[in-house]
Amino acid sequence: MSEPGDDGDNRARSIALLRMMERIRAFEKQAILAAERDKLVLGAIHPSIGQEACAAGIMQAVRRDDILLSTHRGHGHTLAKGADPLAMFRELLGREGGCCGGKGGSMHIADFNVGMLGANGVVGANITIGAGAAHGLKLIGSDRIAVDIFGDGAVNRGPFLEGLNWAAVYALPVLFVCEDNQWSATTRTRTVTAGEGAGARAAAMGLPVTTVDGNNVEEVAQAADQMVARIRAGNGPEFLHAITYRQTGHTSFDQAAYRPEGEAERHKREDDPIMRQRSYLQEMGVSSAELETIHAEAQAEMAALLKEAAATPFPPDDTAFTDVQDIGSPAKEAF
Amino acid sequence: MAEKMTYVEASREALREAMQSDETVWCLGEDLGRGSVFGQYLGLQEEFGPDRVVDTPISEAAIMGAALGAAMVGTRPVVEMRFSDFALCATDELVNQIAKARFMFGGQSRAAMVIRKPTGMWRSSAAQHSQSLESWYTHIPGLVVVCPATPQDNYSLMKAAIAADDPVVYFEHKNIWGMEGEVNRAHTVEIGKAAIRRAGADVTIVSWSDTANLAEQAGARLAEEGISAEVIDLRSLWPWDKEAVTASVARTGRLIVAHESVRAGGFGGEVAATIAEAVPGARIRRLGAPRSLIAYAPNLEDQMRVTVDMIAQAAREMTND
Ligand SMILES: Cc1ncc(C[n+]2csc(CCOP(=O)(O)OP(=O)(O)O)c2C)c(N)n1
Ligand SMILES: [Mg+2]
């Protein structure tokens, strides 16, 4: 979506990156409130607070009709891909009009209208699906590409090897992204990962690897732009290793007491992607008032949408039996 | 208009025709360019090229997972698992991903594909190349389960499976690739409709896959002895033709369900229980493999078989009183 332009364009783009990160954070803060305070979100949610630069930076580089596959920690990616936040809130609350009709919830959020083909409850499973989507796109001669995002924990699952090898062998149009927040649930990923880790493994299969500071949204965006351009030109898959940090617990309910004292606080204080982009924009001459407005607008937008979602009814009971299968459908005969 | 074809030729012809008429149909699996293990794809790569008949790495999880991604962007993959045993390496992709993709995303997506799983005992292939696991997949909402037993059904059901918008798990029996039969290309079969392979009045024998062929032989033998057996080949296990079986047992009052897979937890239990509820007073017997493993040595392998003799003997015993 982005074109190299003059300073005015750059400024607008940098502001847009901040705005998207603010919206993601506001969405997730509301979602956490809805889970903990209001008991409206019943299932687990996995916030990406502290990781918003990856979502904002990568998704601005792709088109609306490009494909995205994501993980259990996928709200940010989905929103940045262009999904409707009201439909997302409704989904988190299990309501009618949710993007999956209330059947999926946070972990299976998807919006096919914007090419978002699903978050996934199984770590690593989206890697082969994303490779396959790219395979299908190539087969039908499309110029669309796929973006396949997973965590650092996923590189220890088999589909990582099978999916990356597959994409490389068939030179598929797919950008693999390891959004490395350094934690696999309650385990520090490097303590259970042999060798040099994600990037080295991808490089061993011949994928060009770019490593970025995943909390610097400008750096993520720039890298993504270049990689997406090469991939769309038909040069085969690439691998983006974005180093970031999960500021919250694994789920909204997890207090993350297993982390060394002060680690999360230090990241929040010194390495927060939103704070860093605000400083960057201030250096560019954007006023504090303007930054505050962006923040306040995001908050107001998401608070209002959550309210609206909470006023929506639950889906009709009989939809428990729809969209399973045509042949042998439980809507006709479930036993 | 019928032509002579073998079981393996029949599904290959069905696939070839589907690929000719629909450019989005493609196949992926190991060694397909050389026809795969049993010749199911012979000549197809020459005809359709390596992009539509794709030789894959030995990556069952990626074959299955990639098929889902490709289905979600509008293509219609035919997945080759080589042996149904190897499909277990892709269980998450089939059970957690493919079977659930449509429902979990609220109907935004479909996973139209055929997943081919050559099944059953075939020569001395031992414990990891001989299993019949079809009942597992009947337990998974979202999947259609098909088990053809004849060349005609392998032709017609493969066509129906490719045309379906659902994921169809398609079990071809390895022991009958060379089985010859008349195939009429115009003959269509609806998935979920059983075939009455032999009409009869005294006992109903229900089966599927190659065991249905054994059941038909048993029926012929019983007829010589004056026992009239109705032999029903279910052809698909989900959905399965409850109406046909119920109507038959309502007349005969006796049901034998016979299958090659392990009896305990086999789909025969589901058929038996359903009919016990639907036809009060019906006498019911199940024949299936003992709950042991399939061995290499032929005499040990034979211990696991349901035979024509066993089926016929069960019918004699049931009609004897
Ligand atoms: C196959 C599988 N194993 C285990 C889990 C449980 N689980 C959910 S998220 C998670 C940690 C994943 O770590 P990572 O891939 O780094 O993603 P992150 O949560 O850090 O975003 C685990 C173990 C799962 N969902 N799927
Ligand atoms: Mg992680």
The CATH number of the domain where B299 resides is what?
3.40.50.920
Supply the mean pLDDT for chain B.
Answer: 98
**Could you tell me if B290 and B259 are in contact, meaning their C-beta atoms sit under 8 angstroms apart?**
no
Domain count, chain B: 2
Q: Ligand 1 center to residue A189 CA distance, Å?
A: 11
Nearest to B120 by CA among B294, B312, B297: B294
User: What confidence score (pLDDT) does residue A8 get?
Assistant: 85
Q: Percentage of residues in chain B with pLDDT exceeding 70?
A: 100
Q: List pocket residues of ligand 1, CB cut-off 6 Å.
A: A 46, 71-73, 121-123, 151-154, 181, 183-185, 189, 246, 250
User: What confidence score (pLDDT) does residue A6 get?
Assistant: 66
User: What confidence score (pLDDT) does residue B1 get?
Assistant: 81
Q: Which CATH number goes with the domain that contains A139?
A: 3.40.50.970
Angle between helices A217-232 and A52-59 (to 10 degrees): 40
Q: Compute the average pLDDT of residues B76-90.
A: 98
Amino acid present at A7: D
User: Has residue A5 got a pLDDT over 90?
Assistant: no
> For residue B98, what is the DSSP state?
I
Q: Compute the average pLDDT of residues A176-184.
A: 98
Asked whether residue B68 is assigned to any structural domain, the reply reads yes
- Closest Cα of chain A to B290: distance in Å? 27
How far apart CA B240 and CA B209 sit, in angstroms, is 13
B178 close contact with A: CB closer than 8 A = no
Residue A324: its chain B contacts at CB < 8 A? 102-103, 141-142
B137/B55 same-domain check? yes
pLDDT digits (tens, 9 = 90+) for B24-64: 999 999 999 999 999 999 999 999 999 999 999 999 999 99
Measured by CA distance, the residue closest to atom 8 of ligand 1 is A123
Q: Show which of B184, B208, B228 is a domain's final residue.
A: B184
B58/B175 same-domain check? yes
Contact yes or no for B102 and A69 at CB 8 A: no
pLDDT digits (tens, 9 = 90+) for B126-155: 999 999 999 999 999 999 999 999 999 999
What residue ranges in B71-153 does DSSP mark as E strands?
A: 76-80, 113-116, 144-146
B162/B221 same-domain check? no
B22/B158 same-domain check? yes
Angle between helices A7-36 and A85-92 (to 10 degrees): 20
Asked whether residue A197 is assigned to any structural domain, the reply reads yes
Asked whether residue A318 is assigned to any structural domain, the reply reads no
B179/B204 same-domain check? no
B55/B149 same-domain check? yes
Q: Judging by DSSP bridges, how do beta strands B144-146 and B180-183 pair with one another?
A: unpaired
Q: Compute the average pLDDT of residues B168-174.
A: 98
Measured by CA distance, the residue closest to atom 18 of ligand 1 is A151
Q: Ligand 1 center to residue A184 CA distance, Å?
A: 6
Amino acid present at B194: A
Residue B168: its chain A contacts at CB < 8 A? 327
Nearest to B107 among A132, A163, A322 (CB): A322
Q: Which atom of ligand 1 is nearest to the CA of A51?
A: 21
- Closest Cα of chain B to A224: distance in Å? 22
Residues of B involved in catalysis: 129
Pocket probe mutation, ligand 1, options A127, A129, A184, max atoms within 8 Å of Cβ: A184
Asked whether residue B190 is assigned to any structural domain, the reply reads no
B163 close contact with A: CB closer than 8 A = no
Asked whether residue A56 is assigned to any structural domain, the reply reads yes
In this structure, which ligand is nearest to the CA of A70? 1
Nearest to B106 among A99, A132, A158 (CB): A99
Supply the mean pLDDT for chain A.
Answer: 96
List the domain range (segments joined by +) for residue A115.
8-312
User: What confidence score (pLDDT) does residue A7 get?
Assistant: 79
Q: Percentage of residues in chain B with pLDDT exceeding 90?
A: 99
Domain count, chain A: 1
Q: Ligand 1 center to residue A256 CA distance, Å?
A: 15
In this structure, which ligand is nearest to the CA of A72? 1
B72 close contact with A: CB closer than 8 A = yes
B13/B137 same-domain check? yes
User: Has residue A1 got a pLDDT over 60?
Assistant: no
> Which range is least confidently modeled, B1-5, B116-120, B219-223, B312-316?
B1-5
B154/B10 same-domain check? yes
Contact yes or no for B62 and A159 at CB 8 A: yes
Cβ-in-10-Å burial (0-12, 13-18, 19+) of B55 comes to: middle
Asked whether residue A243 is assigned to any structural domain, the reply reads yes
B168/B235 same-domain check? no
- Closest Cα of chain B to A110: distance in Å? 6
Nearest to A175 by CA among A230, A129, A239, A241: A239
Q: Show which of B134, B150, B184 is a domain's final residue.
A: B184
User: What confidence score (pLDDT) does residue A2 get?
Assistant: 42
Band the pLDDT of B123: cuts 50, 70, 90: confident
B173/B300 same-domain check? no
Asked whether residue B10 is assigned to any structural domain, the reply reads yes
**Which residue blocks in A284-328 are alpha helix, DSSP H?**
288-310
- Which residues are B55's β-sheet partners? B29
**Cα dihedral sign, B94-B97-B102-B103:** positive
User: What confidence score (pLDDT) does residue A3 get?
Assistant: 46
Contacts of A148 (CB under 8 A, 6+ apart): A69, A126, A127, A129, A130, A131, A134, A163, A174, A175, A176, A177
B24/B118 same-domain check? yes
Asked whether residue A335 is assigned to any structural domain, the reply reads no
List the domain range (segments joined by +) for residue B134.
2-184
ipTM given for this complex: 0.96
User: Which residue of B26, B59, B96, B240 is the best one to mutate when testing the A interface, meaning the one whose CB has the most A CBs within 10 A?
Assistant: B59
Q: Which CATH number goes with the domain that contains B179?
A: 3.40.50.970
User: Has residue B266 got a pLDDT over 80?
Assistant: yes
**Could you tell me if A212 and A223 are in contact, meaning their C-beta atoms sit under 8 angstroms apart?**
yes
Asked whether residue A126 is assigned to any structural domain, the reply reads yes
**Could you tell me if A45 and A121 are in contact, meaning their C-beta atoms sit under 8 angstroms apart?**
no
Asked whether residue B189 is assigned to any structural domain, the reply reads no
B192 close contact with A: CB closer than 8 A = yes
- Closest Cα of chain B to A188: distance in Å? 25
CA distances from A77 to A60, A148, B219, B242 (A): 10, 10, 61, 46
Q: Ligand 2 center to residue A244 CA distance, Å?
A: 9
Measured by CA distance, the residue closest to atom 17 of ligand 1 is A151
Asked whether residue B49 is assigned to any structural domain, the reply reads yes
> For residue A262, what is the DSSP state?
T
pLDDT digits (tens, 9 = 90+) for A93-119: 999 999 999 999 999 999 999 999 999
Residue of B nearest to A145 (CA): B73
B179/B242 same-domain check? no
